[in-house]
Amino acid sequence: MKHSLFVADLHLCAERPQTTRIFEDFVRRTASGAEALYILGDLFEYWAGDDDLADPHHARIAQLLAELSRGGTAVFILPGNRDFLMGEAFAGASHARLLDEPVRIDLYGTPTLLMHGDTLCRDDTTYLAFRAMVRQPDWQAAFLARPLAERKAEIEALRQQSERDKQLKPAAQMDAHPDEVATVLREQGYPRLIHGHTHRPARHLHRIDGRDCERWVLGSWHERGSYLRCDAAGCVAIQLNYFEGAR
Ligand code: LP5
Ligand code: MN
């Protein structure tokens, strides 16, 4: 049966080789049987710019995705809050199409909305202010003009700052806000939303203006790999089995 797969928040990096191996396995054995693979953000721990494609780990992932695409599975990437600096060079190397959110697709007869999910966390105002700054084209051009090593050092510092800030934020602030979810589903008039980012995998049901809507939240991969499989009969969340202690 024709089907498409969805993943998010893999946070791939050379320091977690086991997760990379699991993803490689998933791509070669599972995704290769699908019509399309949608990566809904944060494929990488972070992306400092397409000139970082020279990094062997990054090149290995690009090659893996290109192999998948050449085998007949369309590869779509909707960049997340950690890899929004991905550009056409990365897309070219991985034979992937970059998507701008919110993405609307007809998923085997069900209109489906795709997002990374960070913008749904309406109460995370410090993050949203930061996001507004770094999503400006001028800010990005100035940042990308700096030497790669300098950009990476700054991102590492920001990662630490972010981890410290997250300790102080209430859990609800870092979750999708029900009112924002309702607004998005209402505005778009779509019965299904798929997103990641919050690392709280679940299927939520929402009743919007008398319509039943479903929201699938994808899981992150650094604890356990998982994906969503959708076909004309609907979607099902699947967890990958792999060795305990995998990093
Ligand atoms: O990613 P996750 O889920 O752990 O946390 C996010 C929010 N954090 C981020 C930061 C990313 O983790 C790392 C950024 C990679 C970006 C690459 C390119 C951009 C380069 C920019 C270089 C300056 O997105 C986190 C959310 C959380 O999701 C849940 O939704 O809460 O947000 C934060 O923690 C951000 C802080 O609240 C605000 C930070 C302001 C920092 C101001 C600039 C400081 C410069 C760094 C020097 C220390
Ligand atoms: Mn994210």
Residues 142-198 have pLDDT tens digits of 999 999 999 999 999 999 999 999 999 999 999 999 999 999 999 888 899 999 999
Angle between helix axes 17-25 and 56-70 (nearest 10 degrees) is 10
- Indicate if the pLDDT at residue 242 is higher than 90: no
Testing ligand 1's pocket by substitution, the residue of 115, 166, 217, 218 carrying the most ligand atoms inside 8 A of its CB is 166
Q: What is the model's pLDDT at position 223? A: 79
> Domain 4-243 belongs to what architecture?
4-Layer Sandwich (3.60)
| Cβ atoms of 188 and 101 closer than 8 Å | no
Structure tokens at 221: 């991969």
| Max Cα–Cα distance, the chain, nearest Å | 53
142 lines ligand 1 (CB under 6 A): no
Ligand 1 lined by 85 (C-beta under 6 Å) = yes
- Tell how far the Cα of 213 is from the centroid of ligand 2, in angstroms: 23
| Length of the chain in terms of residues written | 247
Percentage of the chain beyond pLDDT 70 is: 98
pTM confidence score: 0.96
Whole-angstrom distance, CA of residue 151 vs CA of residue 142: 11
116 CA distance to ligand 1 centroid (A)? 15
Ligand 1, atom 5, lies closest to the CA of 162
Local structure of residue 53 (DSSP, 8 states): G
161 in ligand 1 pocket by Cβ < 6 Å? yes
User: Using one digit for the tens of pLDDT, what is the confidence trace for 41-76?
Assistant: 999 999 999 999 999 999 999 999 999 999 999 999
Phi first, then psi, for residue 126 (nearest 5°) are -65, -40
Does the pLDDT of residue 245 top 50, yes or no?
Answer: no
pLDDT per residue over 100-112, tens digit each? 999 999 999 999 9
Segment 93-100 mean pLDDT:
98
Give me the pLDDT at residue 132, please: 98
Average pLDDT score over residue span 195-222: 96
Cα–Cα distance between 10 and 83 in angstroms, integer? 11
Residue 208: band (very low, low, confident or very high) from pLDDT cuts 50, 70, 90: very high
Best of 128, 130, 169 to mutate for ligand 1, by most ligand atoms within 8 A of CB? 130
* Pocket lining: 130 vs ligand 1, CB cutoff 6 Å: yes
User: Mean pLDDT, to the nearest integer, of 75-99?
Assistant: 98
